[in-house]
Structure 1
């Protein structure tokens, strides 16, 4: 399907209206998964022409995404990844876990951004960062698209590593997201140490419902039950 390539329009606007020079793009992957971390990539690209074919990672084939990630690693000015573990997601809720992962990514950059372009319409990052939210930023903004590809490729690789010894769950193929293979393994074997135990998938698994965790740090119900910020399956 044809698509418009991402541009530096938002970044140029931020520079022109606020005077900032270092702008980072953030994107996350793993929010809707049953297993594994939520991962956020922070990328800084400057205003250079991006590698051909750059777009939202979800619009790319795995082969093309992996090849593009190799190009991006040497093309971006800087990038860093932050993760929140399944245990942190269970303890804090997805919104706070996203904030934690994003903060870890930003703090790991060798240069501190003066502004951040965040994919989506909700600012889960907040102070002290100057944030511009952009709906479908992973398709329209170069710096966010770069973060999208780098985050997806790295988390997929992590899930393949975590799947060693848990091959029945198909982490190499589903990256911890819902799938028939994943559900069948959960029904037969129960959650692994890599699963999120506060997630509602356990409600449909009577044999394993006793493992479900109640979060000690409450989060607004709408956020984790299919509301504006969170997803559960």
Structure 2
């Protein structure tokens, strides 16, 4: 299906209305997985013409996505990745874990962005950055699309490496997301050290549901996360 290529329209708007000189696009991958980290990429692209075919990573074939990621790593002005582990997801909750990963990515950039374009409608990042949320930003915004492709390829590679020690789970194929093979392996072997133990999939596994971690406290607050990271905002 034909699709419109992403543009710099949102970035130009932020520059014009807020005076932001450095704008980063941010996207995540792994939110809905049963296993593995949630990964966030922050990318700064400036206003240059993007590589041909850039779009949401989910619209690309594996081959094209890998090719484009390799091109993007050299093309972007800067990028950085941040991860939140399964243990952190279980402990903090997904919203706080997403922020943890996003802060790690943004703090990994060589320059601090003046503003951030965040894919989706929910601002899980908050201050001190000025955030603009954009629904389907990974299709419409150049920097967010670049971040989506890099994040997806990097996390897929991580999951394939983890899968080498857990062949029955087929992490190289499913990247830790639900699949028939993944479910069958869970039923037979139970969760690996890379699985999220607060996830509902354990409710359907009688042999292993006793392993489920139930959080009885609210998701961690922003100050709590900042204290864990040791950042002084």
Q: Structure 1 length as normaliser, TM-score? A: 0.93
CA contact (8 A) 1:89 1:196 kept: yes
Aligned to 2:225: none
Aligned to 2:32: 32
Residue 219 of structure 1 and its aligned partner are, at CA, apart by 3.6
CA contact (8 A) 1:45 1:77 kept: yes
Residue 127 of structure 1 and its aligned partner are, at CA, apart by 1.1
Residue 214 of structure 1 and its aligned partner are, at CA, apart by 1.4
Take 1:217 and 1:63, find their aligned partners in 2: how far apart are those partners?
A: 43
CA contact (8 A) 1:38 1:98 kept: yes
Q: What is the DSSP-based 3-state SS (H/G/I as helix, E as strand, rest coil) of the residue aligned with 1:17?
A: helix
TM-align CA RMSD: 1.0
Aligned to 1:91: 91
Runs ≥4 in structure 1, deviation > 3 angstroms?
none
Aligned to 1:199: 199
Aligned to 2:70: 70
Residue 2 of structure 1 and its aligned partner are, at CA, apart by 0.5
Per-residue Cα deviation, 1:153-192 (whole angstroms, up to 9, x for no partner): 0000000011111000010000000000000000000000
Aligned to 1:107: 107
Aligned to 2:166: 166
Aligned to 1:176: 176
Residue 217 of structure 1 and its aligned partner are, at CA, apart by 4.0
Residue 108 of structure 1 and its aligned partner are, at CA, apart by 0.4
Q: Structure 2 length as normaliser, TM-score? A: 0.93
Residue 216 of structure 1 and its aligned partner are, at CA, apart by 5.4
Aligned to 2:79: 79
Take 2:172 and 2:217, find their aligned partners in 1: how far apart are those partners?
A: 32
Bigger shift: residues 207-216 or 90-99:
207-216
Matched, 1:157 2:124: no
CA contact (8 A) 1:92 1:216 kept: no
Residue 215 of structure 1 and its aligned partner are, at CA, apart by 2.0
How many residues in Structure 1 have an aligned counterpart in Structure 2? 220
Q: What is the DSSP-based 3-state SS (H/G/I as helix, E as strand, rest coil) of the residue aligned with 2:111?
A: coil
- Structure 2 gap segments, 5+ residues each: 221-233
Residue 218 of structure 1 and its aligned partner are, at CA, apart by 2.3
